Structure 1
Amino acid sequence: MKPISISIGLYKIPSRHVQENAIARFTAYEWIIVRMKFSNGIEGIGWTYTQGRGGSAIYHLISDYWAKELLSDSDLDPLTLNKRVWSLSYSYGLEGLSRLAYSAIDIALWDALAKAHDIPLYEMLGGPKSPKVKAYRSAIDLNFTIEELVEDIKKFKNQGFKAFKIKIGKPNFEEDIERIKAVKDVIGNYPLMVDVNRGWTFEETIKKGKILYDLGVYWLEEPIEADLLDQYKMLREKLDIPIAAGESLYNGFEQTKLITDKCVDIVQLDVLRSGGVTEWMKYAKLAESLGLPMAPHFAEEISVQVLSAVKNGIFLEHLPGSNLNDSGVLKSSLRFEDGYAIPPDKPGHGIEFDWEKLSKYQVLWTEVK
């Protein structure tokens, strides 16, 4: 398909509540949204994000450099782009910000390609005609009181959710234990995951991980710094509780090592941080070959598409208050039913933005032809 124009917008959307985990506190997300128009009349839409900082760097990388280069291509599809980004980012590297930028364009291309074939993206990727994937309630909720936490868990249990995740990492570990017990009193035998957001040391994790296992926690997420992959592997060997991680890796070598060295029990690569649909599907296939499940971080609007297309997907993270899905800027999105996420059955990824409502959050915008 021949691209004829690319528009890029940077939008800063406030969170629906203050976001706090063991190492950070923030109040907004930045969304970089790409619209690609093609000579056949089709428009593909893609996006990526930051947690409130760095979005302008991604915006300018696409608008000032990549867009002009990509418009010079007579034919552009996800696989062609996958090869092109190496040359596009040669002088500054295809990691970090470049991967986030790549993700937005890759998703736009997959959206356009599936629309051209008049089928949903999950079907284009090899998924069934009417998929649904298990979802769990998640939140950046370390600043919730126990009462607020319990009420929120009850709300999602009443909506049909059968798996839940909370943040831990309080200065006093006894507070974490108290929060876990309070939530388990509400959910019973349903899975409860906990997320430390890289807040502990290796030694702390060994000690606390054993206690969490005895409490019946389903998985322990990101207990130590994300790039300490050898330590993650040792944690997996020393602890009985399953270890989950991968969301904070922006480097292709590290993402590959995470899987091939079996550093974790559950792979949580973020679709928007790992390089979009093309790269995430590659890692998912690699993980499948080694018997590792995928439970992607965040980005539920596109994660539901890739999870619907792989055999080793186990959970979608539903993160209300932080996602696009309940931000008020979408006309069409995924839906949830009895603890499952169901992707739109429209051609492409099915995510439709309300551009008028989105415009009030606009920080930067440009169109390149």
Structure 2
Amino acid sequence: MPSLHPLLSGFAPIWALIGIGYLVGRSGLLGPHADAVLSRFSFHLAMPAALFLMIARTPLNRFANPSMLAFAAGTALAAGLGLLAAHRFFGRGLASGTIGGMASGYVNSANLGIPVALQVLGDASFVGPVVLFQTLLVTPIVLTVLDTGRAGRRAALTLPVRNPILLAVALGAAVSATGWHPPAELARSCELLGGAGVPAALVALGMSLHGRPATAADTGTGAGTVPGAGADIGAGPGSGAGPGNRRYAEVGVTVVLKTLIQPLAAFAVGAGLLHLPPHQLLTVVLFSALPTAQNVFVYAAQYGHSTALARRSILCSTVVSMATLSLVSWTLGPG
């Protein structure tokens, strides 16, 4: 059973890059719109390159196993409850509420999942199926909702061609299915470009922490939302709290769903319904307890929905998960 110190080493680079981003934003070194530029760079170039190469190199049948059923069940429950809470209790429209659902169930599987899995399990092979599940199933659903709200329902048919993330996923899946191996030059170029995605997203996240007036993207009233869905947060029927308190309450609900409900649901399905062996059960619950991925902030910033919720959910869930991941490894790990 690992101590807390080795687990912290997996979080250190994340906090360091966010901190650097905050200092850069505070100093104005890269200009007032650098965080938006970095987010667009990550969304349009770096992330597609990384996803294409990862999926192209991974057999698609890797995510078809009982452990993934338990993980998918936890994801579906947490994301569904997050979407429901965003709409029912915090007055968000479908598009901005989708960011809340994603923040409640989309795990940081790669840059945190790998070091945590290696430390606790001694094996990071489950990262592949989780990434495939999130990129091949969850991400297309989320981006379709966000893009349809902004561009209109008819545009949904051309979404895979217009959206670089979905295009990369589709091309990677086609390459994987055919067994074709990209040329070494192409693979190396994708590696270099894709390697910049996570650092750029984390630096952009840190820069966005520097205080500035609230925008429509922060409140959830970006293009495609129901008018007033985010700006009136906390002002719905029966609301007795101010907007600030409601925003913190929404982040609290999202973090509880992400760090507590999702792993508990995965445990219930894995242990009670699928009867997974102890090591597989530990693996599923551990990955379900990972914090919200920085991808959520990139998507929120790109589509102009609920950026403040995405940002706070990532930061708070990352802090809380240091305790919940240790608790999972202590309760389910070998003695």
TM-score, normalised to structure 1, is 0.24
Q: Which has the higher contact order (CA 8 A, sep 6+)?
A: 2
The structure richer in strand per residue is 1
Larger-Rg structure: 1
TM-score, normalised to structure 2, is 0.26
